[in-house]
Amino acid sequence: MQFYIIHDDPKVSARLLPDYGIKTNVREAYQMLSDMGHLFDIKWEGQFNKYNPYHAETRQYWKNIGCFDFFINHYEHCLMQYEIRFWQQTKWHEGYFSFQKRAHNLLREAIIGRSEKYNQVIQYLLVVKSKHLKPKEITALQSMV
């Protein structure tokens, strides 16, 4: 599973990606999004079957709401760029529109709820128990917040 981002600005990233990267992003990101839905038990019409919501490429985008929004912004620009380059939409465009109507807010709320729940524990470990943590563990926990 792969989702190519080559610039922080989603519009610039989508414009700079080669055709192969755009085609891959449009397909793979929808699978990743579907897996996120399965993970949080959120369904919509056109959702793909569960593949692996814990895949490293997928997990990095559902670990907190900032990462999720970053992913969605990049995905939407890839969908738009696909239409500009190839003058058509795909089944992934259609599936994404169904997702937007049915599940986008539900998935955002689930990710926010999960990250708030676990962020409290992480903050406790980092602030109160930091003397018991190794530098590598501190870095790993900080990356999750």
Q: Which sequence spans correspond to the domains of the chain? A: 10-112
What's CA 115's distance to the chain center, in Å?
Answer: 14
Select, from the ranges 19-23, 89-93, 95-99, 113-117, the one with the highest average predicted confidence (pLDDT): 19-23
Q: Is the pLDDT of residue 34 over 70?
A: yes
Long-range contacts of 74-77 (CB under 8 A, 24+ apart): 74/3, 74/5, 74/10, 74/13, 74/14, 74/25, 74/29, 75/3, 75/25, 75/29, 75/30, 75/33, 76/10, 77/10, 77/11, 77/13, 77/14
Query: pTM, whole model, 2 decimals?
Result: 0.78
How confident is the model over 53-89, as pLDDT tens digits?
989 899 889 988 899 999 999 999 999 999 999 999 9
How confident is the model over 120-140, as pLDDT tens digits?
777 778 888 888 888 988 888
